[in-house]
């Protein structure tokens, strides 16, 4: 999962950089188990109810897509970094349903980096994440500022 | 969980209306199980790592907070409504850690309602959700437009 590369610090993220991750297969059992626990709306639990909905079939909760993307970001980026969490999420757009059997891939683009004004030991990296299904359709976009420790606290970006 | 009231349609949501839900106890086992599956960063898995982080102790993944809020919204509002899902989330802010043993309560405020321009059978209701811990601190705010079926498709709001 993790590449055997050096640990990533805030200075290592460069605006415009794009990286790709996956595929991650999503099963019907996972979709139903997640929805049963966190989002038990009928179109996330039952094929018949999904067909009767605007989704045209059983589909994963949008929150499940967020959580799958989070895990791909953790495995691909954060667990090999000085990640310090995130203050929140700027925007999520669910653009196409995630279905049982979908093999999801993720694209991560660095939109912007900036040092913290108040904490010299960290900086922010704003990512745009895109989640694609096997057919190449974008199922979700998610933009969020993540916090990373700086290799050189209080120094200037390199 | 569901009040024995009439099913809620788009027309029933009025800007400014505030409703409250919970409490929902969060256990250490749930926090660790969620993080193990979706967000295995050390400060979500281990007390020692949590203490060494800026969170000052083990805390739930922010995505776990989103999912717990989703379930409270489902039980309190959506499962007794004409909910048709959501196009996304406008903003999430994680303001304070969610800890093992926290009893979470939720406040839902209707910010705005508008009919769909393209689908006469549905309308949008933008909610601001706030999640509070037992000490009364706001742990998270989340703003999202939700879609609901209209009682009178294509009619004017009442």
Are the C-beta atoms of residues B132 and B104 closer than 8 Å to each other?
A: yes
pLDDT digits (tens, 9 = 90+) for A59-80: 999 999 999 999 999 999 999 9
Kind of pairing between the strands at A138-149 and A91-94: antiparallel
A58 is a domain residue: yes
A33 is a domain residue: yes
Q: Across the interface, which of B38, B74, B91 has its CB nearest the CB of A41?
A: B74
Residue found under tokens 């601190």: B137
- Residues of A within 8 A of B38 (CB-CB) are 67-68, 70-71
Q: How far is B87 from chain A (nearest CA, A)?
A: 5
**Separation CA B138–CA B65 (nearest Å):** 12
pTM: 0.94
CB contact under 8 A, B61 and A70: yes
pLDDT values of chain B reduced to their tens digit, one per residue, 158 residues: 445 568 999 999 999 999 999 999 999 999 999 999 999 999 999 999 999 999 999 999 999 999 999 999 999 999 999 999 999 999 999 999 999 999 999 999 999 999 999 999 999 999 999 999 988 999 999 999 999 999 998 865 55
Q: DSSP label at A58?
A: -
**Separation CA A124–CA A116 (nearest Å):** 7
B154 is a domain residue: no
ipTM field: 0.94
A128 is a domain residue: yes
**Predicted pLDDT of residue B4:** 55
B31 is a domain residue: no
Phi and psi at residue B15, to the nearest 5°: -50, 135
B103 is a domain residue: yes
- Residues of B within 8 A of A26 (CB-CB) are none
CB atoms within 10 A of CB A92: 25
CB contact under 8 A, B91 and A94: no
Q: How far is CA B96 from CA B20, B23, B56, B72, B136, in A?
A: 19, 17, 11, 19, 11
B49 is a domain residue: no
CATH number, residue B15: 3.10.129.10
Number of independent structural domains in chain B: 1
**Predicted pLDDT of residue A134:** 84
**Separation CA B106–CA B23 (nearest Å):** 8
Residues paired with A7 in a beta bridge: none
- Residues of A within 8 A of B41 (CB-CB) are 74, 78-79, 83, 85
Full residue range of the structural domain in which residue B69 is found: 10-25+61-149
**Predicted pLDDT of residue A9:** 97
Are the C-beta atoms of residues B98 and B65 closer than 8 Å to each other?
A: yes
CB contact under 8 A, A39 and B66: no
**Separation CA B77–CA B69 (nearest Å):** 12
Supply B131's token pair.
């999640």
Kind of pairing between the strands at B138-149 and A122-132: unpaired
Phi and psi at residue B136, to the nearest 5°: 90, 5
A62 is a domain residue: yes
The residue of B53, B58, B88, B144 whose CB has the most chain A CBs within 10 angstroms, and thus the best one to mutate to test that interface, is: B88
């Amino acid at each position: 999962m993790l590449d055997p590369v050096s640990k990533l610090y805030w200075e290592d993220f460069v605006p415009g950089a794009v990286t790709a991750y996956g595929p991650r297969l999503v099963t019907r059992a996972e979709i139903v188990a997640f929805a049963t626990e966190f989002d038990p709306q009928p179109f996330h639990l039952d094929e018949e109810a999904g067909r009767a909905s605007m989704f045209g079939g059983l589909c994963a909760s949008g929150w499940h897509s967020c959580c799958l993307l989070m895990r791909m970001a953790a495995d691909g980026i954060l667990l090999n970094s000085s990640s310090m969490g995130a203050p929140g999420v700027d925007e999520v757009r669910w653009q196409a349903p995630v279905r049982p059997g979908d093999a999801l891939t993720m694209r991560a683009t660095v939109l912007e980096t900036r040092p913290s004004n108040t904490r010299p030991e960290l900086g922010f990296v704003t990512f745009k994440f895109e989640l694609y299904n096997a057919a190449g359709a974008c199922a979700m976009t998610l933009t969020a500022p993540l916090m990373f420790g700086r290799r050189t606290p209080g120094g200037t970006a390199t």
